[in-house]
Structure 1
Amino acid sequence: MTAALFKDAMAAFPSGITIVTTVDDEGRWWGFTATSFCSVSMDPPLVLVCLARTAECHPVFTRAPRWVVHVIRPEHADLALRFATRGADKFAAAGFRADEHGLPVLGNACVTLDCTAHQRLDGGDHTILLGRVEHTRLGDAEPAVYFRRRFHTLTSSDRP
């Protein structure tokens, strides 16, 4: 088992793409792209997202009391790449606005989940952020799908 083979195997699993955002104590916005995202519990409503320990925003998210998970649309693919790029100006002309807590929210995401920190767990070279979903907004667009390191869209033939 090599790291490259493991990465290729994980890339062969199609997933949705999320952009996760928060704000630090000084009011600066932070965010990252994650494909490691899933629901954990219905009662209480919990989701998890995984963040690399090497990410610039890692220290902020390990202290943040709240964050927002956005399930993105296919037209947000460039934005997802920007949020996955170290040192990029992630929020410039990206369509985010501040919510009532000052957190950046992408208004036209497929799904937006407002989370409070429930638990943070060791996940090897990642931290698992477990969030309690406090508020959910549903859009009507279909989500982008990430498979074999490329963005894809759902088509009507993909559905039953």
Structure 2
Amino acid sequence: MAHVATPVSVVTSINGGLPVGTTVSAFLSLSMNPPMVVVSLDRGSETLELVTESRKFGLNILSSDQHSAAMKFATKDGVGKFHGVRWEIDHDLPRIIGTAGWVACTVDRILEGGDHMIVLGNVVAADQQHGSPLTYHRRAFGTHSALETV
């Protein structure tokens, strides 16, 4: 699967006023009517536990200059992930500042998927910024470049 380019996002939730989050590369748009997305979270993820309890999550679509945030949120250290990261509350969820996009969701359902759980989210708010999204391909971060059309 390393040969498949994927978007890099951070799924966020909140626990007693403290933000939690984890990097995901398994995210996609599921439906336009109603607007829905899919994210895949590791079964042992603290973020999954909070998303399951709260029934909502934020999806921070990282910009091409946020690869260090992607690495930080990919660690198992739940406490220090937001240290040094600018964020705010949006729709009662942690929103990372400077992302290429933001989606606030309520959980529609959670399905089993091997060692991960598949979370189907109903989009309640979305915002995009101008800038290139961060992608992951062949174990390296990059971004999308449009092909020249003839």
Q: Under a length normalisation based on structure 2, what TM-score does the superposition of the two structures give? A: 0.91
From the superposition, tell whether residues 95 and 125 of structure 1 become closer, same or farther in structure 2 (CA, over 3 Å): same
Task: Establish whether residue 54 from structure 1 lines up as the match of residue 44 from structure 2.
Answer: yes
Task: Establish whether residue 92 from structure 1 lines up as the match of residue 83 from structure 2.
Answer: yes
Helix, strand or coil: the match of 1:63?
Answer: helix
Paired residue for 1:30?
20
In 1, Cα distance between the equivalents of 2:38 and 2:100?
18
- 1:42 is displaced (CA, Å) by 1.2
Paired residue for 1:63?
53
- 1:100 is displaced (CA, Å) by 4.5
From the superposition, tell whether residues 159 and 135 of structure 1 become closer, same or farther in structure 2 (CA, over 3 Å): farther
Helix, strand or coil: the match of 1:62?
Answer: helix
In 2, Cα distance between the equivalents of 1:143 and 1:59?
27
Matched ranges for 1:1-160 at <5 A = 10-24=1-15, 26-87=16-77, 89-101=80-92, 103-156=93-146, 158=147, 160=149
Helix, strand or coil: the match of 2:119?
Answer: strand
CA shift digits 1:66-120 (9 cap, x unpaired)? 111011112110101110001151111111112252x211132111001111111
- 1:148 is displaced (CA, Å) by 1.1
Partner letter of residue 11 of structure 1? A
Of Structure 1 and Structure 2, the greater strand share is in: 2
From the superposition, tell whether residues 100 and 112 of structure 1 become closer, same or farther in structure 2 (CA, over 3 Å): closer
In 2, Cα distance between the equivalents of 1:22 and 1:55?
12
Give the count of matched residue pairs: 148
Identity %: 30
- Give the unaligned 5+ runs of structure 2: none
Matched-pair contact (CA < 8 Å) for 2:28–2:39:
yes
Q: Which has the larger radius of gyration?
A: 1
- Give the unaligned 5+ runs of structure 1: 1-9
In 2, Cα distance between the equivalents of 1:47 and 1:155?
24
- 1:144 is displaced (CA, Å) by 1.2
Cα RMSD (Å) = 1.5
- 1:159 is displaced (CA, Å) by 5.4
- 1:30 is displaced (CA, Å) by 1.0
